[in-house]
Amino acid sequence: MTKQQMLNNLKRECENCYACEIGKKRTNLVFGAGNPDTVSVVLIGEAPGEQEDLQGKPFVGKAGQFLDEYLQKAGIDRNKDLFIINTLKCRPFVIKNSEKGIKSNRPPKKEEKLACETFMLKQIEIINPKLIILCGNNALKSLCGSKYTITKVHGTLANLEYKGRKAIAIYHPSYLISYVHSEEKNKEFLEDLKYIKSLIK
Ligand code: URA
């Protein structure tokens, strides 16, 4: 069986998962995107947002556009070089205005992360990447443990790994565009991506 066939089977399992409340409320499952038979790098984000839930694809909203811009600047081809997944496959949200049906993203809950973890770990086992990019604190802590913090470990291969596979953490684009608004941090983000490019070429 090819990696793609194994992932297709896993996706079917995932589509039948309603273990937590967001599974029952999703518009689309966001399983992941990329060619598992050719890539050697998996990028793990946090969770789908509004656009991802609507389109069923990872990183296609504002954060995704920012990520795409910086990947391009660093010379990384999202479609050719990466398989992109999230720690959660469904959008975590709260209802902001029930009359207008306005939803707002929220961070994943512990029980949601636990319910979805096996899917993420199976995706990694199937794709078997040489390098894992952990995009943001949530992905970093989910895979490598809560003692790590993105501001301290981003951009270095020093001590992160998952079952013998190298891992490297980068800031989450949403953190850069919605919270810090710092040219300095954007520069660090680009430097980290350029370093990743040097590792995968
Ligand atoms: N943020 C994420 O972490 N993942 C997505 O797919 C979109 C936004």
The reply to whether ligand 1 has any atom less than 6 angstroms from the CB of 64 is yes
pTM over cut 0.75: yes
Cα 182 to averaged position of ligand 1 atoms, centre (Å): 20
Q: At residue 201, does pLDDT exceed 90?
A: no
Per-residue pLDDT band at 145 (split at 50, 70, 90): very high
| C-alpha–C-alpha distance, residues 101 and 19, integer Å | 24
3-state secondary structure of 65: helix
The reply to whether ligand 1 has any atom less than 6 angstroms from the CB of 175 is no
Q: What is the mean pLDDT of the chain?
A: 96
Q: Give the total number of structural domains in the chain.
A: 1
Domain range holding 128? 3-199
* CATH number, domain with residue 114: 3.40.470.10
Place of tokens 């090819």: 2
Q: Can you give the pLDDT at residue 187?
A: 98
The reply to whether ligand 1 has any atom less than 6 angstroms from the CB of 32 is no
Residues 24-73: pLDDT tens digits?
A: 999 999 999 999 999 999 999 999 999 999 999 999 999 999 999 999 99
